[in-house]
Structures are given as structure tokens and as C-alpha cells.
Structure 1
Amino acid sequence: MQHHAGISLLPGTASGPIVVMAEPLSFWGGVDPATGTVIDVHHPSHGVSLAGAVVLMPTSRGSCSGSGVLLELALSGRCPAALIFAGPEDTLTLGAIVAAEMFGRSIPVVRLPEEAFAALASAAEAEIVPDAVLADGGRVQIPLSAAVHGDLQLSTSDRRLLAGDEGIAAQQAMRIVCAMARQQGATALVDVTRAHVDGCIYAGPANLIFAEKMEQLGARTRVPTTMNAISVDHANWRRQGVAPEFGEPAARLADAYVRMGCRPSFTCAPYSLPGPPALGEAIGWSESNAVIFANSVLGARTAKHPDFLDFCIAVSGRAPLAGAFLDEGRRARRAVRVELPEGADSSAWPLIGYLTGLASPDRVPLIKGLAKARPARDDLKALCAAFGTTSAAAMLHIEGITPEADSLGGSPEDEVVITRAALAAGWRHLNDGPAGIDLVAIGSPHASLEECRAVAERLDGHRLAGNLSVIITTGRDVVAAAEAEGTLAGLRRSGVDVVPDLCWCSITRPVFPERAKVVLTNSGKYAHYGPGLSGCTVRLGTFEDCIEAALTGAAPARLPGWLS
């Protein structure tokens, strides 16, 4: 049976068994880069292998690092045979563009209309040929047309970069930026004032191969560029017992980016650095929580740029004028009303972010019902980070709180309600697990100075329980400030480890304690990604639960006071 035509975004030929994903997936934290198996314990396809499969997925979600995981799988021969989406998708598409552009590895990427996607989803295997997707021995035939790209308007300096007048690396970066712009349907590029590179996390050799190849080609940043958290504490990893076969390439990756002009900020919270982006400022940021916070809370403008594209933007100073750079891409299309009980504390914010992402997985939401709660900056950080784990959207609006809620939150198409019962069910889902705690994880995204102070004040010099560890991950600037004011000394007196440079989504053993099996965190982001990344039980708790566990070694599963 012939169906409506799909779009061939990245042409090629492939065949394999069909794997259907019922909901979007983040490849970073959701797929093992060594095997291609789904490791996200919250995903319905947990345990399924994607290697060699024709993967059908509505779109991707979550981390910008998914492109790095796909490149890793492509270079090791464990990638999906092809990717077929039902809607727009950037992160994995960019990984496939880089695999083809720089390494000659072809992964066809196709977008299908709803009816054709559904028909293909019921088949067992598929073949992609240049002009069609075929399945069930030819009984399902979906014609493919090339993506129709409007003319991409390029400036004189864009053309100089593309022609190689400013070096091979700048030319390669510009080729990738233009390929992505065309895939997104952009008709122009935009100047950015700054960039933030997320591809410095060592997911495997592919990230390092990309960076060192760009350095070999002579790449240099042309706008001020900060760097995300990396995968080791750069100065101390040897002392911490990290195996050289991991520590050396992880440090080499960071060093390559620094040599190419990036600032060794090594934080996943670049909005907390001095001189954050201003309202309306066009920036080229990656890292899902950073992008969502910058767009939503600061009112700056950036798309959710996949890893590798972030560095190409830093090298060219240009980004595709698409997505959240445009008013149209920032407009709220769904209202999410939260029935927030009186007296909610800081534990409400990661929960609201997580559930809002599930309620608005593919569109910008306007969140209602929170104005009276008066969230602090760290509360908004926790909400944005958790939202980024369950939604593909690059931003959100909060009525009465975020700067563009009035102007761009105005006319949602529908409304979803998160009831008190839904809040309680969501909390139970993320809080479930044994009472005995081995590790308390604070700082995903990186802890602020205020959060470090709060832990120090509550512990008040008391020693941690028995074999329990408390680790706070944070940026170098926060470590320096905490040291200067004595907060760091107070935390150390209690036995708390404060680790710079890496974050919970990049931490590995033995910095992550070998004996730890049950982890308690106040981060919705880490409660989501942690089980897949660490192989441990990771429970979401309140700040008070974390302190109780630190002092007693236990925190029973229970609703927070404001929900019970």
C-alpha cells in the first residue's frame, strides 16, 4: 500500500528490523554509547538494542549530547541503520550530519507524515532506498522526496568562510552550520555574541576524534566561548584514582577545546558566571538545562544546539536563524496549570519541571498557578533542568514570573492540568527505593554558592553518617568563592566532597563511590538520568531528606510535607 510522501533529510540506503519508540528518548543518558542498548530505566523501550535497527521515534528529547552518542555509535559500527522521525528533530540529525560530513559514515534520516509513520510502525522490518521506504516485502511503500530548502541567504563573510578563505576548519564548521540550517528550514543565519560548548564531555572516543580533527584543521573560536562540565576533575583526577585509560582522553578532550580558544569554565550552569546573557541577546548555547534557563529565565535567545554544532557556531560566529531565535519558536502552544498546594518548598520545582515536560513533550508551555510561590533563581534552575529531561522544547514560560510570559505566553492552543494527585504520583515514582542511602548527590546542574552555603549551614560541622558520602559538584568560580568565605572549610569539616569541573551526568567511578548502590538527590534531572548512567537506584528527595540521610544514613520513601 502506498502512503503520502515522507522527506529524506539525509539520503542513503539502509535496511534492518524496525524498533518503534513509543515516546521520545535522549540518547545521552538513555543509550549506552558502547553497545547501542537503551539504558533509560524510565523509558518504555528500556533494554532494547538499537544497533543495526531502523529506529522509529516521534522525535528526540533531553540532552544536547545525544549527537555525540550517535557519532560514537557510528564510528564503532553499533549505530541504528536509519532514523525515522514523525516530527522535527535536531540532535540526532546533527550527529548524522557530522558522521557523514567528517567521517564518511552514512545514517539515513527520514521524516514521515503521521499516517505513514503509523503504517511503518506496524511492520517488522524496513528498507530505505533513495526514493522510498519499503516494508513488509514491499506491501508498505512510502515515497520519499528530498527536503525542500528555501534559499539560505548568506552574507559576504558567510560565503568567504564557505569558500575556505579563512581556513579549512572554518569552512568545515560553516558547512555543518549551513547543513543544519537547511534541515531546520532556516532561510538565514544569525550572529551570536557568545557560545557554550557541551561536546567537551567524554562520552567515548568520537568526541575526542571530532575535537582533535577540528584542531588539526586549525579551528579557533571567533566569539567568547565557555565550556560545559567535563568528565574529570582536571587537576585532581589522578589523585582520585581515575583510570588513565579514561582520565587521559577526557583531559585531552578538554585541553583541545581550550587550545582552540574556549575558556576552561567547566560548568553546566554558564548562566551563573559573571556577565550572563541579557534579554533578547542572541547566543549559541548547548546543554539542555543551560539553553532552557537562558531562554526562559534570562530571555536570551538560543536554539537547543546539539553537541558539535555548538563548536561550529563558536568557530563561525553564526547560527541557523530558527527555533527559539524567532518569536514563532518561543510562543507558548500549551498551557500547563499546576494545582500547587500551599507551603510548597524547594522540592516542588524539579517535580513541576519533570511533570510539565511530560505534559508538554514537544511544544513550549505556559505554566500557570505558580506566581504566588515566588521561586528563587535556584528553584527556576531546578525546574528548567528537570523539564529538559522530559521535553524536547527549548524553553518554557511561567505566568507572572518569566520575562516573556506576557508577550509570548499569550495564546496556548490547549490546557493540561497537573493536579495535586498527579504531583503526589510523580513524587512517588521518582522517590521510590530503599530507605538506606549510600550517597547524597547535590549539584545537577552545578550547585550555586547559595546551595553550598545551605548544605554547610544545615550540617553545621556535624560529621556524616558511617559509610555515607555526600558529593557536591559545582563550577570552579563557586569553589573559589566558597573557599574565600569559609563555606568550603565548613563542608569539609563535615566530610562533604566538593568536586569542580565534572557534574553528575559525567561523573564516573571511583569519584562516584564504588560501594554506592542507593543514591539520594534533590535534582529532578539526575533522578531521571542517574539510574541509566550509574546503574544504581537514584531517588529524588527534598533538601531536608538529603540532610537527614547525610546525618543518619537513611531517608525513607515518603511524600514531602507540602504534599502529604
Structure 2
Amino acid sequence: MTSPSRETGIAIVPGTACGPIVVMKEPLSFWGGVDASTGVVIDVHHPAHGTSLAGAVVMMPGSRGSCSGSGVLLELALSGRAPAALIFADPEDTLTLGAIVAAEMFGRRIPVMRLSDDAFGRLASAAEAKIAPDAIVADGGRVHIALSAAGHAELRLSPDDRRLLDGAEGRAAQQAMRIVCAMASQQGAAALVDVTRAHVDGCIYAGPANLVFAEKMEELGARVRIPTTMNAISVDHANWRCQGVAPAFGEPAARLADAYVRMGCRASFTCAPYSLPDPPGFGEAIGWSESNAVIFANSVLGARTAKHPDFLDFCIAVTGRAPLAGAFLDEGRLARRAVRVEVPEGVDGSAWPLIGYLTGLASPDRIPLIKGLAKTRPTQDDLKALCAAFGTTSAASMLHIEGITPEAEGLGGNPEDEVVIDSEALAAGWRKLNDGPARVDLVAIGSPHASLEECRAVAERLDGRPLAENLSLIITAGRDVVAVAEAEGTLARLRNSGVGVIPDLCWCSITRPVFPELAKVVLTNSGKYAHYGPGLSGCTVRLGTLDDCIEAAVTGAAPARLPGWLSAATISGRERPRS
């Protein structure tokens, strides 16, 4: 008789559960990757697309992508559609925080465990598992994994931390500090750190759970301690009623935004907070959420923030404190993999979302040092596009670009290995994201939110030409950008061509009918939306150059093709036709 295995693991959020095992070989973003109402995987680029996670013991290396995954998990927990348990091979924050909030505030416990590689591999071969606080048993008892509590050094708290934790400043601050401390403990942080500002991502209405959390905190008396901006929300706050949005969605989405404003957050409503006046400075410790914003702040600005999950962001805003872990520390900012990009001559702005997307695939679980781009002179919008696309395919909170980003020379360090992205890989990646029907119904600009320069570029390229019949071009942008565009006349030029410019919401939170009802094929210049869009909208979403987007806008079509800079490179390289 074969004796049972005796591997060990750590119970991050202890509890009991049982269910069939679902193994995912790739990390997954729950936001844009899992339907919050059913628990089914909707990420069309993920191997588990179509799989139901409801009631399953879900095993995966870790999560990736959006900070809003914690909100999706809470939504699933409150509706009874959550996984029975989550088991990771690597450290993981986003879904873990969702499970902590579900247990702390709502009494809905989703056990979370982290296993060694050997234990993970053994369990992954089983069909179902039974989980207790001290063990996982599977395969008829032949797999037995002992679980221990997460063992960390005692978290050092300041006198002010202890006052908050003891309830001296009210129940909301006490609850927020409990959640901050719980996350610090699971991250192995020895202490907390003061942050100067926060950015709240949980104001997006993923479902009733986000609203329940916000209104519960408001009921407890929550107020932010530090300047706090807000991410894009799920409606155009002033205009959703006249846009035809159903009150059943528009009212709770607006209520969610209003609750955060009443608690002291600034109604900035943008997913590009680095474009607001007075962005964070180099070395400044901040408490930001929203994956693209976190990666841009760390990588391009040199500010310091972990990739905080939704709900933790607001708890940090209420306490002014964050776990001193991850990218707050030098060791948490070191590059561990080099990614060399063999970029062709003559690249334009369309290269950056593609490079970000492929770099994330090449470095899904570690900070990369990107080589080969030093002579390209990217704009802030180029780097925004790269960071956003990188955040869809990697769990890392930042990246370095040799010769471009401020810490590449010092913290680029000594990467453990190197991956090469050559012109063939670039072409294959573009074809994957650009594939689809030539006929286009909708052109989507502004994921993350369009800058003033991007709005001007669209106006200049259209040059007053009307849009093709039955086609929509919509730009989403922060209200500050829209106000300046209106004052200088750019907004009028866009609207004269029939372009819709919508503030407050963004493409990852837009819903029908603001998203045109009859649209089936979407063209976008955003690598982020090309990845998330199919699952979120149910449409074919293609990546194109800005010129492709303008061509589609005025003709109604943009055939699948490589951008000029990449087409020339593949013809002159391995794809040159033989004579």
C-alpha cells in the first residue's frame, strides 16, 4: 500500500471547505477575467476560459492584472458563487485581501492557502479536496498536506497605530487598521509606513458588494486622513440618466461614487491619476490602487507603492498607513529578469502596448528590466500604454526600462536570466491581438483615460471628417482633461466629427447602452482593453494603431495587418520572400 504524502502548506486565511479541484496553469485576473455574477472565467485569452470556479477548490500560481479582483471575489462571496477555497503556489495579495474583507466584515470565509511547489503539484493531480484549518486531504486520503498558520515576526506598530486598532478614533478607523494589519501580516511586513496620498480603485461598481463595503464604512464613520483621489467610476456621473443607463445600474453606481466623496475622497474619477496636477514625486511613499497607475507611479515617476487591492486602498486612506513590504522596499523593486526587445527601426506609438503586453507574458511573476529601448524616446503616453498592457499579463507592481526609467541603472540590478522578444515574437503578438473581422462598429480610445495630447491627436487626424455611417468613436477621459479640451476647442472639433467624449467612466467599466448596443467588432489602440475587452463586452476587440483607428472611424473598416514598422522588419528579416 502506498503511504500518504505529508507535504506542508500555510493557511493564510484558515477555514473549512470541500469541492472539486480546478487547476489553472496560468495566473488570472478576476476583474475582466471572471464573471462576478456567475463565477465563470470570461478571459478569452486564458486557457481556462469558460470554466466555472463557483464552489471549486481553485489552484493557480497566483493572480495577475487588475486590483479590482478583490471586489469581484467579495461579490462572489456575498452571492454564494465564490470558489470554495483558493490555493496559490506564490505569494498573492489581491484575492487574499478580498477573502480577508469577506471574513472580517461580512462573515463569509473563503479559505486561502499557499503551498510549496511539491505540495502544489501533488494536490493538483487530485480530483477533489477537503480542507480543514490544519490540513488538506485529497485523493482518498493519499494526499495529506498539513497546514500551519502564517508565521511572521511580530508586526511593529506605532502608538498611533495602536490607538486606531484599539478604536480610539472610531469603529471605521479600527476596522480599516485591522484590515491593514491583516494584510501586513500575510505579506511578512515588519512594520507599517506613512503614505502621503491614496488613490481608491474600489469606486468602480463591479456589483452590490462594492457598494455594501463603502456604505458599511460610511455607516461606521469613515473619513480619509490623507489626500485621496478616485479612480474612474462606472457611469458618467452627471449624464448617465440622459444616456439611457438603466436606474437599476446607474443609481447604485452613482451612490458608490457619492459615498466615497462624502468620506472625503476627491471626485477626480480618473484611472490616470499621474496625469493630474501635482503627481507624486520620486521616492514619495503613496497608497495607490489601479494596476496601470501603480505600475506607472513606481516605474516612470519613481514613487513607491505596492499594488494595493481594492478595499485595502481605502483602508490605507483612512489610516494613512500601509504595509511596509513589496515595492516600498529596495529589495521589492529589484529586477529579477531581463527582457531584451529587438525593436525595429521606425517604431511609433503602436509599439508600446504590444511591448508591454509581451513583456508581461515573458515576466508574469517578477519585475523585469526591459532592454533595447534606450534610443526610442517614448512620450508619457507611450509609457502609459506600456505600463497598462504590462499590468494585464503580469502580477509585478513595476518594471524598469534601461536608459529610460529613473531606477533602471540602480535597481535594474543583476537579473537572474534573460528573455528575448524578437521581431517574429512582436509580429505574432500583434497578429494575436489584431485578429478579427475587417468591418468595425466601434473605435475605443482611452484605456487608461486619454490625455489631452491624445484627444488633440484624434482631432487632428480626423480633421473635421465625419464618422462612417453606423460607426461610433468614443473617447473616455478624466473630467479635468475634458474640461481643458472644451476650453481650448478640441472638444468641439471632436464632436463636430461625431466623436463621443465621455468623462468619469473608462472602457473597463463602460456598459450598454453607453457602449453602443449594436456594436460587435471593436478596434482600440489600447493593449489593456484589447485584453480585457472581449470578456467584459462580449465583442471581438482588436488592437490597432492610431492610424488604423482613424481609418476605421471614417471608412468603417480596418483590415487585419501589421503596423508599418513591424511589417518592414519581418520582411527584411526571417520572413523575407525567397527569390
Which bin holds the TM-score, normalised by the shorter protein?
A: over 0.9
Question: Matched residues in 2 for 1:545 and 1:23: separation?
Answer: 31
Q: 2:312 — aligned with what?
A: 309
Is residue 2:88 matched to residue 1:79? no
Q: 2:17 — aligned with what?
A: 14
Q: 1:245 — aligned with what?
A: 248
For residue 430 of structure 1, the aligned residue among 419, 430, 433 is: 433
SS at match of 1:373: coil
Which amino acid in the other structure matches residue 502 of structure 2?
V
Q: 1:153 — aligned with what?
A: 156
Q: Residues 56 and 84 of structure 1 are in contact (CA less than 8 Å); yes or no, is this contact kept in structure 2?
A: yes
For residue 514 of structure 2, the aligned residue among 508, 511, 514 is: 511
Q: 2:565 — aligned with what?
A: 562
SS at match of 1:301: coil
Q: What pairs up with 1:259-338 in 2 under 5 angstroms?
A: 259-338=262-341
Q: 1:199 — aligned with what?
A: 202
Question: Matched residues in 2 for 1:11 and 1:376: separation?
Answer: 47
Q: Residues 7 and 144 of structure 2 are in contact (CA less than 8 Å); yes or no, is this contact kept in structure 1?
A: no
Question: Matched residues in 2 for 1:270 and 1:456: separation?
Answer: 23
Aligned length: 564
Q: What pairs up with 1:356-395 in 2 under 5 angstroms?
A: 356-395=359-398
Q: CA deviation at 1:560?
A: 0.5
Q: 1:217 — aligned with what?
A: 220
Question: Matched residues in 1 for 2:385 and 2:133: separation?
Answer: 45
Question: Matched residues in 1 for 2:477 and 2:421: separation?
Answer: 32
Is residue 2:125 matched to residue 1:122? yes
Which amino acid in the other structure matches residue 325 of structure 1?
F
For residue 497 of structure 2, the aligned residue among 494, 498, 514 is: 494
Q: CA deviation at 1:131?
A: 1.1
Q: CA deviation at 1:563?
A: 0.8
Is residue 2:50 matched to residue 1:47? yes
Q: Residues 241 and 250 of structure 2 are in contact (CA less than 8 Å); yes or no, is this contact kept in structure 1?
A: yes
Q: CA deviation at 1:2?
A: 1.9
Q: 2:211 — aligned with what?
A: 208
Which amino acid in the other structure matches residue 277 of structure 2?
P
Is residue 2:146 matched to residue 1:143? yes
Q: Runs of 4 or more off by more than 4 Å in structure 1? A: none
For residue 555 of structure 2, the aligned residue among 539, 552, 555 is: 552
Q: What is the RMSD of the two structures over their aligned residues, measured on CA atoms?
A: 0.4
SS at match of 1:98: helix
Which amino acid in the other structure matches residue 87 of structure 1?
D
Is residue 2:110 matched to residue 1:107? yes
Cα distance per residue 1:422-480 (max 9 Å; x no partner): 00000000000000000000000000000000000000111000110000000000001
Q: CA deviation at 1:22?
A: 1.0
Q: Residues 3 and 115 of structure 1 are in contact (CA less than 8 Å); yes or no, is this contact kept in structure 2?
A: no
SS at match of 2:260: helix
Question: Matched residues in 1 for 2:463 and 2:187: separation?
Answer: 52
Question: Matched residues in 2 for 1:364 and 1:268: separation?
Answer: 22
Which amino acid in the other structure matches residue 114 of structure 2?
R
Is residue 2:96 matched to residue 1:93? yes
Question: Matched residues in 2 for 1:142 and 1:183: separation?
Answer: 20
Which amino acid in the other structure matches residue 308 of structure 1?
F
Q: Residues 445 and 524 of structure 2 are in contact (CA less than 8 Å); yes or no, is this contact kept in structure 1?
A: yes
Q: Residues 199 and 228 of structure 2 are in contact (CA less than 8 Å); yes or no, is this contact kept in structure 1?
A: yes
Q: 1:481 — aligned with what?
A: 484
Q: CA deviation at 1:95?
A: 0.1
Question: Matched residues in 1 for 2:392 and 2:149: separation?
Answer: 32
Question: Matched residues in 2 for 1:485 and 1:131: separation?
Answer: 64
SS at match of 2:252: helix
SS at match of 1:64: coil
SS at match of 2:486: helix
Question: Matched residues in 1 for 2:121 and 2:357: separation?
Answer: 28
Question: Matched residues in 1 for 2:132 and 2:222: separation?
Answer: 36
Question: Matched residues in 1 for 2:76 and 2:434: separation?
Answer: 32
SS at match of 1:559: coil
For residue 131 of structure 1, the aligned residue among 118, 130, 134 is: 134
For residue 24 of structure 1, the aligned residue among 20, 23, 27 is: 27
Cα distance per residue 1:222-276 (max 9 Å; x no partner): 0000000000000000000000000000000000000000000000000000000
Which amino acid in the other structure matches residue 401 of structure 1?
I
Q: CA deviation at 1:410?
A: 2.1
Cα distance per residue 1:64-113 (max 9 Å; x no partner): 00000000000000000000000100000000000000000010000000
SS at match of 1:563: helix
Which amino acid in the other structure matches residue 41 of structure 2?
V
Which amino acid in the other structure matches residue 442 of structure 2?
L
SS at match of 1:379: helix
Q: CA deviation at 1:63?
A: 0.2
SS at match of 1:371: coil
Q: 2:443 — aligned with what?
A: 440
Which amino acid in the other structure matches residue 507 of structure 1?
I
Q: 2:358 — aligned with what?
A: 355
For residue 530 of structure 1, the aligned residue among 529, 533, 541 is: 533
Which amino acid in the other structure matches residue 330 of structure 1?
R
Q: CA deviation at 1:137?
A: 1.1
Q: Residues 24 and 48 of structure 2 are in contact (CA less than 8 Å); yes or no, is this contact kept in structure 1?
A: yes
For residue 175 of structure 2, the aligned residue among 172, 176, 192 is: 172
Q: 2:405 — aligned with what?
A: 402
Which amino acid in the other structure matches residue 69 of structure 1?
V
Question: Matched residues in 2 for 1:199 and 1:3: separation?
Answer: 40
Which amino acid in the other structure matches residue 442 of structure 1?
I
Question: Matched residues in 1 for 2:247 and 2:6: separation?
Answer: 53
Q: 2:475 — aligned with what?
A: 472
Is residue 2:232 matched to residue 1:229? yes
Q: Residues 181 and 189 of structure 1 are in contact (CA less than 8 Å); yes or no, is this contact kept in structure 2?
A: yes
Question: Matched residues in 2 for 1:124 and 1:330: separation?
Answer: 38
Which amino acid in the other structure matches residue 317 of structure 2?
A
Gaps of 5+ in 1: none
Q: CA deviation at 1:284?
A: 0.1
Question: Matched residues in 2 for 1:536 and 1:118: separation?
Answer: 36
Percentage of pairs with the same residue: 85
Which amino acid in the other structure matches residue 302 of structure 1?
T
Is residue 2:187 matched to residue 1:184? yes
Which amino acid in the other structure matches residue 488 of structure 2?
E
Q: CA deviation at 1:215?
A: 0.1
Q: CA deviation at 1:4?
A: 2.5
Question: Matched residues in 2 for 1:312 and 1:373: separation?
Answer: 40
